[in-house]
Amino acid sequence: GQQVMQIPQYQHVQEGEDFTTYCNSSTTLSNIQWYKQRPGGHPVFLIQLVKSGEVKKQKRLTFQFGEAKKNSSLHITATQTTDVGTYFCAGPYSSYKLIFGSGTRLLVRP
Amino acid sequence: DVKVTQSSRYLVKRTGEKVFLECVQDMDHENMFWYRQDPGLGLRLIYFSYDVKMKEKGDIPEGYSVSREKKERFSLILESASTNQTSMYLCASRFGTGRNSPLHFGNGTRLTVT
């Protein structure tokens, strides 16, 4: 079945350093979504990418969708303590299902 | 803003009990989902419903059933709770049949089965 792999599992950075998480699908995706879950909270939708090679930015966050639409990345420039949380990618398969990656937990040292 | 409300934040149940987890959304969303979240495993889909009285199994449906009698409410039922069902349960909803619709999650129910 379809799988969505996400690496790394954890990343511990000094505040101000950059951070990247990578997402790889076993099959081509029609779109990919990214979510953020703060500690003790629930996943919150960040963004969706649809087009091959698409790049979208939200302030210090840059999202990319690969040319083959099988991989994606989220890059955070100059991390802040407010960026702490777990970042999930998710891709659709079959009619209504959304498969989530295992997530990357970001810890930021002040 | 979309509101997805899960009835309990924390639950402690005994092995063998029948457990009901309730989820209500206020945005007239057609699709509703139940996921469980475990460390290192991400979010795994248990069941989803694309409309009233319609349901489909997700990736890990064993030991669970669901009910969707009204559009706004989606219930997850653990027929006979077991310790390996100790987990965080997340309900989510979204609009229509579009694969592009984002999910809106509830705050989660942390279930402990002893």
Tens digit of each residue's pLDDT (9 = 90 or more) over B95-114:
876 557 899 999 999 999 99
Domain edges within chain B? 4-113
Partner residue facing B102 (CB), from A6, A45, A100 = A45
A92 vs B: CB within 8 A:
yes
Rounded Cα–Cα distance for residues A25 and A13 (Å): 26
If 0-12 CB within 10 Å is exposed, 13-18 middle and 19+ buried, where does residue A108 land? buried
| Closest of B89, B85, B72 to residue B18, by C-alpha | B85
Amino acid (1-letter code) at residue A4: V
Q: Residue B32: how many CB atoms within 10 A of its CB?
A: 28
What's residue B42's pLDDT? 87
Looking at residue B98, its pLDDT comes to: 59
pLDDT (tens, 9 = 90+) of chain B, 114 residues, equals 769 999 999 999 999 999 999 999 998 999 999 999 998 888 999 999 988 999 999 989 999 999 999 999 999 999 999 999 999 999 999 987 655 789 999 999 999 999
For B31, the closest of A9, A88, A96 (CB atoms) is A96
Q: Both tokens of residue A42?
A: 């629930």
Domains belonging to chain A, first-starting first, are 4-109 (2.60.40.10)
Structure tokens at B34: 């139940």
Q: Is the domain B4-113 a CATH 2.60.40.10 member?
A: yes
B27: contact with A, CB 8 A cutoff: no
A44 at interface of B, judged by CB pairs closer than 8 A: yes
Residue pair A24/A102 in contact (Cβ under 8 Å)? The answer is no
Q: How many CA atoms lie within 13 A of A90 on its CB side?
A: 29
Q: CA angle at residue B1 from A106 to B2, to 5 degrees?
A: 80
Q: Which residues from chain B sit within 8 angstroms of residue A33, using beta carbons?
A: 102-103
B34 touches chain A (CB under 8 A): no
The answer to whether the beta carbons of residues A85 and A38 sit under 8 Å apart is: yes
pLDDT in the model for residue A95:
66
| pLDDT band, very low/low/confident/very high, at A11 (cuts 50, 70, 90) | very high
